[in-house]
């Protein structure tokens, strides 16, 4: 089974180089490493002169577009995705491949812990579900959880996930309507794969370290969070769970404490924030209504 690793990147040459080195140091090397660069200005392109990678430069700054470009040229029959600020464990791909021996498995993801932390790291919360998509639109990750054996989940983490290439092509790749911060892009594609009747597996031994240290959410980030989350919910959950809409709306603005704790996102308040919140929800609705006729979601 051939595995292509696809990495979208933008202006993170040093981090990307460390990521590539870790991929080349694995016990099972990928068939190819594809770097899709959204026009970096930090000489990222020079890495292709040092490392055996396929390098493509695009003009668009949209992670889904970058991933879809990678899909279009990948030669592997399994496509693994990670971020440019990730370091993978030496056995990363090996643990993915074990799960694909089951033809019913459409995707496999793994554990994500902060950079510099040891393998025993876990951020404790009261809600223990891993990769769970609820009918009210909440998505519980808990992807730092270490489990004794693989388990079936609803969704995988974008910085540590893989899928069968033929299934990604069948669902049309990643949804490019999820713009800005690309929130919910990973969960959206996972939902599409599951709708085809295939299982998603969380294999905690497939470990990566992510250099993510939390985020201060400004007005623009919150706009895209609400816009993408509204669109995602209406597209994937609302048609089969309409009675949960009021709960979804409440959770949009008042998420559970565990959910906020795991996300490590802190909001920066401003006088324009209420306008951004309203606009994000409305634009998410408009985006869904624009695609709904072609999906047959509207009568």
pLDDT tens per residue, range 54-102: 999 999 989 999 999 999 999 999 999 999 999 999 999 999 999 999 9
pLDDT digits (tens, 9 = 90+) for 250-294: 988 887 776 666 666 666 667 777 888 899 999 999 999 998 766
Does 149 map to a domain? no
How much is the pTM? Answer: 0.92
Instruction: Domain of residue 246: give its range.
Output: 215-295
Does 60 map to a domain? no
Q: Mean per-residue pLDDT for 116-136? A: 88
Does 234 map to a domain? yes
Does 263 map to a domain? yes
Please spell the DSSP secondary structure of 81-138, one letter per residue: EE-TTEEE-TTHHHHHHHHTTSTTEEEEEEEEEETT--TT-----S---SSEE-TTS-
Q: Mean per-residue pLDDT for 137-151? A: 93
Does 48 map to a domain? no
- Predicted confidence at residue 171, as pLDDT, reads 97
**Residues 162/166/232/57 CA torsion (nearest 10 deg):** 70
Does 142 map to a domain? no
Tracing tokens 């180089």 back to the chain, one arrives at 17
pLDDT at residue 298 above 50? no
pLDDT at residue 299 above 50? no
Does 196 map to a domain? no
Q: Mean per-residue pLDDT for 115-141? A: 88
Q: Mean per-residue pLDDT for 202-225? A: 87
**Count of domains observed in the chain:** 1
Does 237 map to a domain? yes
């Amino acid at each position: 089974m051939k595995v292509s690793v696809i990495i979208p990147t933008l202006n993170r040459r040093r981090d990307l180089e460390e990521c590539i080195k870790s991929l080349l140091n694995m016990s099972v090397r990928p068939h190819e490493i594809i770097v899709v660069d959204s026009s970096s200005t930090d000489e990222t392109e020079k890495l292709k002169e040092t490392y055996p990678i396929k390098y493509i430069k695009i003009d668009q700054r949209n992670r889904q577009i970058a991933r879809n470009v990678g899909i279009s040229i990948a030669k592997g029959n399994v496509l693994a995705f990670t971020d440019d600020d990730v370091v993978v464990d030496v056995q990363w791909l090996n643990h993915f491949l074990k799960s694909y021996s089951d033809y019913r498995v459409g995707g496999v993801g793994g554990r994500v812990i902060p950079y510099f932390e040891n393998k025993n790291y876990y951020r404790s919360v009261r809600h223990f579900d891993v990769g769970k998509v609820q009918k009210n639109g909440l998505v519980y990750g808990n992807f730092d959880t270490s489990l004794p054996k693989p388990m079936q989940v609803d969704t995988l983490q974008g910085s540590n996930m893989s899928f069968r290439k033929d299934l990604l092509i069948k669902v049309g790749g990643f949804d490019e309507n999820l713009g800005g911060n690309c929130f919910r892009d990973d969960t959206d594609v996972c939902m599409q794969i599951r709708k085809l009747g295939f299982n998603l597996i969380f294999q905690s031994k497939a470990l990566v370290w992510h250099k993510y240290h939390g985020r201060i959410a400004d007005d623009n980030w919150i706009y895209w969070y609400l816009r993408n989350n509204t669109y995602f919910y209406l597209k994937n959950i609302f048609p089969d769970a309409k009675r949960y809409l009021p709960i979804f709306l409440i959770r949009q603005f008042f998420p559970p404490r565990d959910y906020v704790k795991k996300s490590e996102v802190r909001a920066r308040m401003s006088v324009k924030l209420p306008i951004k919140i309203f606009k994000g929800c409305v634009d998410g609705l408009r985006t869904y209504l624009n695609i709904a006729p072609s999906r047959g979601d509207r009568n």
